[in-house]
Structure 1
């Protein structure tokens, strides 16, 4: 039996635009290098395709500097897709840009109407529930509206809390399989993963927590050797992708694709 939490046939990505240098960031650690980001993006897409997935690559959106981070626009579930309502005002228009593509691939597409806000980077779908982290981008009203829609499709939503100073819930965690979560110790310490098998990223390698399990591969940011070794030892096939430029915009592996 397939596992819908990590076995995917399709993905949607978007090429970074030249305007990405204007992207949002919690702190300025440098301007992204567009050429290097595009090279990394090409490697990312190639890794997805290597698993046999059909990858839709959307054109850059100059009007939306953060549009490369497509995950925040939509939650993809087996029953249908839910268009989000981003908490960053400059990103709200990205949802309409994504909607046409999503509606072409899903029969049932719902939308978070607001006034609450919610972004895909705060949502972790496990084999038993949907965990949603409250953050600066996702509020209680957004979580409640998502829970109503998800309940119609038989999913239960559990609200948890993203650590202070961390942009999204999934900045600090990712799903390795239906019952296994890769997480930072600071997030796991909150107790939100009780009952799951939790793998901790190495001390000082916290950015490695934002990875994705995509079919047989785990895609993670390059430069975190102890975490990569731990995952390899645990039996996962790791592909390391240069995330240097996305990291300047608080982005990681999960942010760069919609997977379904």
Structure 2
């Protein structure tokens, strides 16, 4: 069960954020409304939410997930592969340390973003992407093992982040999309395949029995509800324009 979340308000500079999407520039005012509803959804799931102020110097800084990995026993500050985002780690360090006694840091020159890390119990799947390299994954796995956890790497070639196409919903259920549909690493799971037309909804988030799902993907909602989960739909259009998904907007622990 999760108890806490850390989020950061969007900055007006988000219009200059990193993106490969061709959906136009985000509307800042609408993004703020959607972010406020996202925070409300986290609270509805029983979380205490720490809302950090916006950081205009970092257009992508509302996507706090990439800057740290929060485990039950320790936190690990990452080193993002996007050089324009590396300063975000120092900005969130104090908030992370306010909740954890044991905080580790990924050392340069290795890179890893927590959007490439999926937690399943005490095992952490780490995707090797343009943002996360093998050395960064090795560092992360060593830290996890020092703290009684495990990690393994997943080769990737299509998705931006591992969790762009994967979401673990607990009870052995896994949303999968694109290149992850046939990955042998996930054969043991009950895989709910999301078609590429609905790929954005593959990044949904399980929180204490409720699954947050981006608005506009009714078929994904139906598949998740058929397994007995409660669903909370969240509007995410302005963050989708920046390649940001539901998991990206918070650190949950």
Q: TM-score scaled by structure 2? A: 0.97
Stretch deviating more after TM superposition (89-98 or 202-211): 202-211
SS in 1 for 2:135: helix
Q: CA deviation at 1:128?
A: 4.8
Give the 4+ runs in structure 1 shifted more than 6 A: none
- Summarize the Cα distance change of 1:8–1:248 in structure 2 as closer, same or farther, 3 Å threshold: same
Determine the C-alpha separation between the residues in 2 that align with 1:97 and 1:203: 35
SS in 2 for 1:143: helix
Listed one character per residue, the Cα deviations across residues 23-73 of structure 1 (whole Å, up to 9, x for unaligned) are 001244200011111111111110111122110000000000000000000
* Structure 2 equivalent of residue 86 of structure 1: 80
Match of 1:40 among 16, 27, 34: 34
* Structure 2 equivalent of residue 135 of structure 1: 129
* Structure 2 equivalent of residue 239 of structure 1: 232
**Any conservation in 2 of the 1:202–1:227 contact (CA below 8 Å)?**
no
SS in 1 for 2:184: coil
Listed one character per residue, the Cα deviations across residues 63-84 of structure 1 (whole Å, up to 9, x for unaligned) are 0000000000000001110000
Listed one character per residue, the Cα deviations across residues 195-246 of structure 1 (whole Å, up to 9, x for unaligned) are 1221112452111100110112101111111111111111111111111111
Q: CA deviation at 1:98?
A: 0.3
Match of 1:107 among 84, 94, 101: 101
Determine the C-alpha separation between the residues in 2 that align with 1:75 and 1:155: 13
Residues 86-235 of structure 1 mapped to structure 2, 5 A cutoff: 86-164=80-158, 166-177=159-170, 179-202=172-195, 204-235=197-228
Aligned Cα root-mean-square deviation (Å): 1.2
- Summarize the Cα distance change of 1:127–1:48 in structure 2 as closer, same or farther, 3 Å threshold: same
Listed one character per residue, the Cα deviations across residues 141-160 of structure 1 (whole Å, up to 9, x for unaligned) are 10000011000111111100
Q: TM-score scaled by structure 1? A: 0.94
Determine the C-alpha separation between the residues in 2 that align with 1:28 and 1:230: 28
**Any conservation in 2 of the 1:219–1:238 contact (CA below 8 Å)?**
yes
Determine the C-alpha separation between the residues in 1 that align with 2:160 and 2:150: 24
Specify every segment of 5 or more residues in structure 2 that has no aligned partner in the other structure, as ranges: none
Q: CA deviation at 1:171?
A: 0.3
Determine the C-alpha separation between the residues in 1 that align with 2:12 and 2:20: 20
- Summarize the Cα distance change of 1:48–1:27 in structure 2 as closer, same or farther, 3 Å threshold: closer
* Structure 1 equivalent of residue 53 of structure 2: 59
Aligned residues: 253
Listed one character per residue, the Cα deviations across residues 156-197 of structure 1 (whole Å, up to 9, x for unaligned) are 111002232x21010001110152211115312122212122
Stretch deviating more after TM superposition (72-81 or 177-186): 177-186
* Structure 1 equivalent of residue 68 of structure 2: 74
